[in-house]
Amino acid sequence: MVDLLQMLQEDLLPQVSLLIVLTILAKIIVLILLAYGVLRLAYALIDRILLREREGKLYVDPNKAKTVNTLTKSICRYVIVFILIIMILEVLGIDYTPILASAGILGLAIGFGAQNLVRDIITGLFIIFEGQFTVEDYVTTGEYTGIVQEIGLRTTRLRDFSGEEHILPNGKIETVTNHSKGFMRALVDVDVAYEENIQRVQEVLEQLAREWKDNSLEIKEGPLVLGVQNLDDSGITFRVVAYTEPMLQWKVERVLRKAIKERFDREKIEIPYPRRVIYQRDDKEERNQED
């Protein structure tokens, strides 16, 4: 009888152990799927609250809403991952209370080594709450210039005009130039030949500026013809400036250059350009002259 029980135990023990392992794995997989679902649901709820259309008197700056959106999602992600780890430890039968206590002691021990991490987080909070810049602002910090894609607890992501993404630790962001605050200047320099009447050129440009001021919605101030800016080797330089909404200054410059060229063509005003005159000598004539 004893031998029979021992044989049954030897046969059933591996199966029971395998069943326990599979049960634990199934619970862990379910927890991961639940955490993923909760995270996606939280993201959708955050988007709905912060990025929905605002009506009536309550108005939230869309860029600030996107900034808070990315930060809230980052915090939510860390919290859900932390809770998931605790629940997995509980499924594995590991008492996480000593781990949390030791984590507090370990945190104090490595506190000095984590100064950069703490500095990144604190700087990120200051960036957001002081409104230094927001998502979709066009900024320059250090050697990097681009559009702000995301402001997180630890890093800020910039994408430049070549499409490259730069990930900057918040603690490294010291001096920031925000090109999206206020109006931006559109500046166009145009040359005319020395033979042209500068008073007439001034009048033509001012007439064009008045037409633009009345018809262009992109220009908030100007255009203003400043007059003669420079006397170059090949011509006289006139300068025209206007002020636009952020990120529209380059478009206005391109369109304004085209309009000036078309107006100068119509008014027969010459824009100088380099010319080269080549004289070709006839070798036969040279030899005849020498003879």
pLDDT of residue 133: 82
Task: CATH 2.30.30.60 in the chain: give the residue spans.
Answer: 116-178
**Alpha carbons 242 and 218: distance in angstroms, whole number:** 10
Of 3.30.565.10, 3.30.1370.60, 1.10.287.1260, 3.40.50.1820, the CATH number of 2-109 is 1.10.287.1260
Mean pLDDT of the chain: 76
Residues of the chain with CATH 1.10.287.1260: 2-109
The CATH 3.30.70.100 domain(s) of the chain lie at: 184-267
Contact at 8 Å (CB) between 164 and 147? no
Q: What token pair was written down for 164?
A: 């490259």
Could you tell me the strand order of the sheet in which 219-231 lies? 184-192, 236-244, 219-231
Q: In what order do the strands lie in the sheet with 138-141?
A: 165-169, 155-159, 144-151, 138-141, 176-178
pLDDT category, 2, cuts 50, 70, 90?
very low
233-250 in b/e burial notation, b at 16+ Cβ within 10 A? eebbebbbbbbbeeebbe
| Statement: the pTM of the whole predicted model exceeds 0.85 | no
pLDDT at 59 over 60: no
Report pLDDT for 58.
43
pLDDT 10s digits, 198-238: 899 888 988 888 888 777 777 878 788 888 888 888 888 99
pLDDT digits (tens, 9 = 90+) for 150-209: 887 778 888 988 888 898 888 888 888 888 877 888 898 988 888 888 899 888 988 888
- Give, as one character, the DSSP assignment of residue 57: T
Going by pLDDT thresholds of 50, 70 and 90, the confidence category of residue 239 is very high
Distances, alpha carbon 16 to alpha carbons 92, 98, 213, in Å:
16, 30, 84
**Most confident listed range (16-25, 44-53, 174-183, 202-211):** 202-211
Q: Are strands 144-151 and 155-159 parallel, antiparallel or unpaired?
A: antiparallel
- What percent of the chain is predicted at pLDDT more than 70? 73
pLDDT score of 70 = 74
Query: d(Cα 120, Cα 208) in Å, to the nearest integer?
Result: 51
pLDDT for 29 = 87
Most confident by average pLDDT, 13-17, 79-83, 276-280: 79-83
The Cα-based distances of 56 to 33, 94, 231 in angstroms read 40, 53, 55
Consecutive H or E run containing 188: strand 184-192
The CATH architecture to which 116-178 belongs is: Roll (2.30)
Span 184-267: which CATH code? 3.30.70.100
Residue 61: the pLDDT is 58
* Predicted local confidence at residue 53, as pLDDT: 52
